[in-house]
Amino acid sequence: MEKNRLISIIIPVYHTGAALKQCVESVLSQTYPYFELILVNDGSTEEDADACDFYADADRRVSVVHKENGGVSSARNAGLSKAKGDFILFIDSDDYIEKDMLKKLLNTILNTDADLAASGMVYIYPDGRRQNKDIISGTIALDASLNEEFKKLYANYFFNSIWAKLYRTQIIRQYGIHCNEDFSIFEDCSFVMEYLSHCKTVALTGRSDYYYVQAETPSLMKRFNENALSAYEYYFASSAWLRKVLDGGNLESYYQYQESVIWNFITQIFSRSKKSLKEKKKLLGQFSESDAVQEVLTYTTVHTSGGLSKLRRSMILHKNTTALSLLLYFRYLGK
C-alpha cells in the first residue's frame, strides 16, 4: 500500500552531540526507503554541523540546512520550507524510531484515508527505565461524536507533541500551518491543534514506535518562561475548534486540562522564577486578567469538583493577587 510516497523527515539539531547518531541511523535503517531526511543545524556546535554534513555526504536521501540559531520552531519551519514529500514527520534529534515506523504510519494513513496518522511512544528515562504510552489501533472522527479514546489521549497530553505523527503536506501548505517562532513553549501543541482543526479523521497505528528520550535537565515546560501567558493564550486560541466540537457535550476533560496548564505556570512563577515578590505578583495579576484564564476557571468552578481548590480558583477569578501571591511565596520559599 505504500506506493512509493515520499516522506519528508525533519530533524532540528542543536547541541545534540552523540545522541544524533542513534537518531539519524534509526531513520536510515527504515524498512521503507522512500524518504528525504532534512537535518536542520540550528546554529549548533561544529561537531554537530560536521556530523550533519557527514550523513549528507554518505546518503543522497539526506540534506542539511545550516542556519543561525533561532530556536526549535525556526528550525522546523526551515525544514518545512525545504520539504518535497507528500507527508511530513518530525523527530527530535535526541530521540529515535523503530525500524518500520515509516512503513506502519504510511500504511495506516493510506489504508484509512485519514488526515493524520499517529504512533504511540516509549519514554526512555535517564536511569534506563522504559514507560510505554500505548494507543489503540483505529480511526477517530474529529466531529461532535469524538470518542473516549480521543479524550483520553488529549487528557494524557498526547496531542502536545509534534512528533510521532505523520502529516499530509497538502494540508500544511493549504492552510499555511507553521510553528510559532515567538514562543519556546506550546509551539508543539499549537501546531498540532491548528493542524487537527483542518482534519476530519485521525488514524492510530496501535503501536509504540517512537522512543522519547528524557533529558537529565528540566525541559522548557518545567522551567519558568517569561512569555508563558502569551504562549498559553496562543495555544488556547489554537484549540478553539476542539471547544466548539465538544460544546453541548462533555467539556469537563477539556477545561480540566486547561486548568492544569494554567496552574502549572502560575506555580512556576513562584517556584522557579528569580523575580522579586512584587514582580511575581504583577505576573500573577496578568494571568488573572487574561480572558482565556477567566473562561477556564469560570467553567471549572461551576462544573467540576477536581482540579484547583475552590479557594485558589476564587482568588484568581476575583483577582485577589495579593493573598494568592503571599500563599505561593511562602509555600515555595527556599525551594
User: Do both 107 and 196 map to the same domain?
Assistant: yes
Last residue within a domain, chosen from 213, 248, 282: 213
pTM of the model: 0.90
Asked if 98 and 209 touch (Cβ cutoff 8 Å), the reply is: yes
Residue 199 inside a domain? The answer is yes
Q: Are 220 and 133 in contact (CB under 8 A)?
A: no
pLDDT surpasses 60 at 334: no
Question: Does one domain contain both 174 and 244?
Answer: no
Rounded Cα gap, residues 13 and 39, in angstroms: 7
- Give the HSE-up count for residue 272: Cα atoms under 13 Å, Cβ half-sphere: 16
Split into its structural domains, the chain has a count of 2
What is the residue range of 166's domain? Answer: 7-213
DSSP secondary structure of 95-145? -EE-TTHHHHHHHHHHHHT-SEEEEEEEEE-TTS-EEEE---EEEEE-STT
**Residues 262 and 200 occupy one common structural domain:** no
Cα 136 to Cα 106, 133, 193, 255, distances in angstroms: 17, 10, 20, 24
For position 229, what pLDDT does the model report?
Answer: 87
Q: Is the pLDDT of residue 265 over 50?
A: yes
- If one counts every other C-beta atom within 10 angstroms of the C-beta of residue 100, the result is 15
DSSP readout, 37-88? EEEEEES--HHHHHHHHHHHHH-TTEEEEEE----HHHHHHHHHHH--SSEE
- What pLDDT score does 220 carry? 46
Length of the chain: 335
Count the Cβ atoms, other than its own, within 10 Å of residue 181.
15
For 183, counting Cβ atoms within 10 Å of its Cβ (0-12 exposed, 13-18 middle, 19+ buried), the class is: buried
Same domain, 170 and 27: yes
How many CA atoms are closer than 13 Å to the CA of 320, on its beta-carbon side? 12
pLDDT band at 185 (very low <50, low <70, confident <90, very high): confident
Q: Are residues 63 and 206 in the same domain?
A: yes
pLDDT of residue 253: 80
Domain final position from 190, 213, 236: 213
My answer on whether 260 and 181 are in the same domain is no
Q: Which helix (H) or strand (E) holds 258?
A: helix 252-271
2 within a domain of the structure (yes/no): no
- Is residue 305 domain-resident? yes
54 and 36 housed in the same domain: yes
Domain holding 46: CATH number?
3.90.550.10
Q: Which residues pair with 112 in a beta bridge?
A: none
Q: Among 180-184, 199-203, 272-276, 292-296, which stretch is predicted with the lowest mean pLDDT?
A: 272-276
pLDDT at residue 311, rounded to an integer: 84
Helix (H, G, I), strand (E, B) or coil at 8: strand
User: Would you say residue 162 lies in a domain?
Assistant: yes
Q: Does residue 1 sit within a domain?
A: no
Of 151 and 326, the one with more pLDDT: 326
Q: What is the pLDDT of residues 195-224, one digit of tens each?
A: 999 999 999 999 999 999 987 654 444 556
In a domain, 66, yes or no: yes
Q: Do 194 and 246 fall into the same domain?
A: no
What are 14-35's pLDDT values in tens digits? Answer: 999 999 999 999 999 999 999 9
Give yes or no: residues 193 and 272 share one domain: no
What dihedral angle (degrees, nearest 10) is formed by the CA atoms of 53, 33, 16, 39? 50
The residue among 169, 194, 213 that closes a domain is: 213
DSSP structure string for 180-221: -TT-SSSHHHHHHHHHHTT-SEEEEEEEEEEEEEPPSSPPGG
Same-domain pairing of 182 and 241:
no
**What is the C-alpha separation between 163 and 206, in angstroms, rounded?**
16
| pLDDT score of 284 more than 70 | yes
Together in a domain, 13 and 130? yes
pLDDT of residue 217: 53
Residue 228: what pLDDT? 82
Are 32 and 125 within one domain? yes
In a domain, 292, yes or no: yes
